[in-house]
Amino acid sequence: MPETAPRADRPADRLRDRTSGTRYGNRPTMKDVAARAGVGLKTVSRVVNGEPGVTPDTERRVQEAIEALGFRRNDSARVLRKGRTASIGLILEDLADPFYGPLSRAVEEVARAHGALLINGSSAEDPDREQELALALCARRVDGLVVIPAGDDHRYLEPEIRAGVATVFVDRPAGRIEADVVLSDNFGGARDGVAHLIAHGHRRIGFIGDMPRIHTAAERLRGYRAAMEDAGIAVADSWMSLGVTDPERVRRAAEAMLTGPEPVTAVFAGNNRVTVTVIRVLAGLSRQVALVGFDDIELADLLQPGVTVVAQDAAALGRTAAERLFRQLDGTHLTPERIELPTRLVTRGSGELPPSD
Partner DNA sequence: CTGAAAGCGCTTACAG
Residues in the site for DNA, rule: CB under 7 A? 1, 23-24, 27, 29-31, 39-43, 45-46, 48-49, 52-55, 57-58, 71, 73-74, 77-78, 80-82
Q: Amino acid identity, residue 65?
A: A
The C-alpha R_g of the chain, in whole angstroms, comes to 28
* Helix, strand, coil percentages in the chain from 3-state DSSP, rounded to 5: 45, 15, 40
- The answer to the question of residue 245 lying near its own copies (CB under 8 A) is no
Q: Which is nearer to its own copies, 231 or 315 (CB)?
A: 315
- The answer to the question of residue 85 lying near its own copies (CB under 8 A) is yes
Picked from DNA, its own copies, none, the partner binding residue 12 (CB below 5 to 8 A depending on kind) is none
Beta strands in the chain (DSSP E): 87-92, 117-122, 144-147, 166-170, 180-184, 205-209, 240-242, 266-269, 290-294, 308-311, 338-341, 344-346
Picked from its own copies, DNA, none, the partner binding residue 176 (CB below 5 to 8 A depending on kind) is none
Instruction: Rounding to the nearest 10 degrees, give the CA dihedral for residues 269, 150, 168, 309.
Output: -10
Distance between CA atoms of 202 and 8, rounded to whole angstroms?
A: 76
Q: How many Cβ atoms are within 10 Å of 338's Cβ, its own excluded?
A: 12
Residues 252-291 that bind its own copies (CB under 8 A): 276, 279-280, 283
- The answer to the question of residue 137 lying near its own copies (CB under 8 A) is yes
Distance between CA atoms of 157 and 168, rounded to whole angstroms?
A: 11
- The answer to the question of residue 19 lying near its own copies (CB under 8 A) is yes
Q: How many Cβ atoms are within 10 Å of 297's Cβ, its own excluded?
A: 20
Q: Which is nearer to its own copies, 77 or 244 (CB)?
A: 77
Q: Which is nearer to its own copies, 178 or 229 (CB)?
A: 178
Q: Which is nearer to DNA, 10 or 23 (CB)?
A: 23
Give the interface with its own copies as residue ranges (CB under 8 A).
14, 18-19, 21-27, 70, 72-77, 79-80, 83, 85, 87, 94-98, 100-102, 104-105, 108, 117-122, 135-141, 159-160, 162-165, 276, 279-280, 283, 297-300, 302-304, 315, 331
